Amino acid sequence: MFSARLHSRRLWIGAAALAAAASLFAFQSAHAGYAPSALPDRIVTTWTAEPAASFSVTWRTSTAVSKGFGEIVEATDGPDFEKAARRVEAAVEAYETNQGPAHAHSVTFRGLKPATEYLYRVGDGSDAWSEWIPFRTAAAQPEPFTFLYFGDAQTRIRSAWSRVVRRALETAPGARLAIHAGDLINNYDQDAQWGEWHEASSAMHRSIPAMPAIGNHEYGRGAEGRRRPTVNWRPQFALPLNGAAGLEETNYFVDFQGVRFVALNSNEKLEEQAAWLDRLLEKNPNRWTVVFFHHPIFSGARGRDNQRVREAWQPVFDRRGVDLVLNGHDHVYARTRLVRGDGGTEGGTMYVTSVSGAKMYDGKAHPAIEKIIRHTQFFQVIRVDGDALTLEARTARGEVADSFRIVKRGGAKRLIAR
Ligand SMILES: [Fe+2]
Ligand SMILES: [Fe+2]
């Protein structure tokens, strides 16, 4: 008995020393770079198919986990829901980051009921699972809903951007999706920056799908000498493959409850996307159209005019009656009124640029900008309800700093701005 106790005490001391060493290592590795483990992390929901009947999830593990699984079940109030869960095997993709190799896993849950709360979890099929996470499918018809929009996070992501995400979730806990208008991070292939981004947004994106646009900071010149998107982009986001050729998962669209959401890639292939968008919006059954991309049509800071983007895309927005364009890149909050490229007053498009992170720019805005607010971190809460779309630009502390409403009556569109 005595020797057994002594033995267990020695074991305990040994275990404590190991734990101390492990926690030191964990701190160092977390600080240096968010190393992958057997446990799923960087869990992000998205849509790659019909939002009323499906959703997709991606997550990351170390390469020791060679298979991944998702499980899903309709949510109940009792704890016995697990028994009815069904399992889907994940697609596994090995990718190499500047901090070493990792596995990206992705599943798409299909055949779901509309407007229904589910619980899902992801893991290795035995011990290493995420928690059960609630997720609500879209209604099959147009229904009022709220979504979030963030401008560039980019720098001091962990230290100064995370608070903006927290306040956004507190303000709009029922938000159904979140748009990121590019420059999510600062240096395209720096995996530790992606670690900060996922840490700061994980509570949101486990339940609220991400719709990211790709910014110039997600591009870089790799060892091969060619400018290309970060190696992290495609493994970590499962996005629709319905855009222009050569822009897979950076140019795409999703229809959600009466709104067509379109992501464009303003870094390359502008003409190809203009033609693609024109065809896409020729037959659009949705009442509202929201387009988002990184480089603003109307710049909010000096010397940053994106004439090529404006000339390529604004005529399509005008012709197809795009309601709202959401941009980043200029590190200010800046919006127009309903404007058209030909100076007309019928219809028109509202252009908004915003910033959620810590980097800020000064300078003179394009004359089309009606409202500009500088040196402030923002998130936007946007509500679509029948004939009205309302945007609130809220500061990091949650104050409404700007708001407007677009109202549609028949073919006419009018702006109410405060
Ligand atoms: Fe930026
Ligand atoms: Fe940018």
Q: How far apart are CA 296 and CA 50, in angstroms?
A: 29
Q: How far apart are CA 131 and CA 212, in angstroms?
A: 25
Write down the pLDDT at residue 19.
44
Pairing of strands 55-61, 69-74: unpaired
Q: Which of 24-33, 132-141, 167-176 has the lowest mean pLDDT?
A: 24-33
Which CATH number does 145-417 carry?
A: 3.60.21.10
Ligand nearest the Cα of residue 295 is 2
Residues whose CB falls within 8 Å of the CB of residue 214, separated by 6 or more in sequence, listed in order: 182, 229, 233, 250, 265, 267, 294
- Spacing of C-alpha 184 from chain mean position: 9
Q: What whole-number percentage of the chain has pLDDT above 90?
A: 87
Ligand nearest the Cα of residue 218 is 2
Q: How far apart are CA 239 and CA 258, in angstroms?
A: 19
Confidence band for 303, pLDDT divided at 50, 70 and 90: confident
Ligand nearest the Cα of residue 296 is 2
Distance 294 CA to ligand 2 centre (A): 7
Write down the pLDDT at residue 247.
98
Task: Give 3-state DSSP helix, strand, coil % of the chain, rounded to 5.
Answer: 25, 35, 45
Distance 189 CA to ligand 1 centre (A): 16
Distance 242 CA to ligand 1 centre (A): 26
Q: Which of 63-67, 88-92, 360-364, 384-388 has the lowest mean pLDDT?
A: 360-364
The helix/strand/coil state of 22 is: helix
Sequential DSSP letters for 53-83: T-EEEEEEE-TT----EEEEEE--SSGGGGG
Distance 287 CA to ligand 1 centre (A): 31
The helix/strand/coil state of 390 is: strand
Ligand nearest the Cα of residue 360 is 1
Q: What is the pTM of this model?
A: 0.92
Which tokens belong to 62?
């170390």
Confidence band for 224, pLDDT divided at 50, 70 and 90: confident
Distance 280 CA to ligand 1 centre (A): 28
Distance 247 CA to ligand 1 centre (A): 20
Which CATH number does 41-136 carry?
A: 2.60.40.380
Distance 152 CA to ligand 1 centre (A): 5
Sheet holding 133-136, edge to edge: 86-89, 69-74, 117-123, 133-136
Distance 248 CA to ligand 1 centre (A): 22
Residues whose CB falls within 8 Å of the CB of residue 160, separated by 6 or more in sequence, listed in order: 357, 358, 377
Distance 11 CA to ligand 1 centre (A): 52
Listed residue (253, 291, 247, 305) closest to 272, CA to CA: 247
Confidence band for 345, pLDDT divided at 50, 70 and 90: confident
Distance 257 CA to ligand 1 centre (A): 30
Q: What whole-number percentage of the chain has pLDDT above 70?
A: 92
Write down the pLDDT at residue 417.
87
Distance 52 CA to ligand 1 centre (A): 33
Distance 332 CA to ligand 2 centre (A): 12
Which tokens belong to 155?
């720098």
Confidence band for 62, pLDDT divided at 50, 70 and 90: very high
What 8-state DSSP symbol labels residue 297? S
Listed residue (288, 365, 348, 289) closest to 314, CA to CA: 348
Confidence band for 32, pLDDT divided at 50, 70 and 90: low
Higher pLDDT, 19 or 300: 300
Sequential DSSP letters for 154-175: -SSIIIIIHHHHHHHHHH-TT-
Tell me what the mean pLDDT of segment 42-60 comes to: 98
Distance 219 CA to ligand 2 centre (A): 10
Distance 239 CA to ligand 1 centre (A): 22
Distance 267 CA to ligand 2 centre (A): 10
Report the first-to-last Cα separation within the chain, whole angstroms. Answer: 79
Listed residue (387, 379, 46, 407) closest to 237, CA to CA: 46
Distance 183 CA to ligand 2 centre (A): 6
pLDDT at 307 > cutoff 90: yes
Q: How far apart are CA 95 and CA 90, in angstroms?
A: 15
Q: Which of 110-119, 157-166, 343-352 has the lowest mean pLDDT?
A: 343-352
Tell me what the mean pLDDT of segment 35-54 comes to: 97
How many helical (H) and strand (E) elements, i.e. helices and strands, does the chain have?
6, 24
pLDDT at 163 > cutoff 50: yes
Please report, for the chain, the start and end positions of each structural domain, with discontinuous segments joined by +. 41-136, 145-417
Write down the pLDDT at residue 27.
36
Distance 74 CA to ligand 2 centre (A): 41
List the shell of residues around ion ligand 1, using CB closer than 5 Å: 152, 154, 183
Confidence band for 13, pLDDT divided at 50, 70 and 90: very low
Q: How far apart are CA 407 and CA 106, in angstroms?
A: 39
pLDDT in tens, 245-276: 999 999 999 999 999 999 999 999 999 999 99
CB atoms within 10 A of CB 54: 16
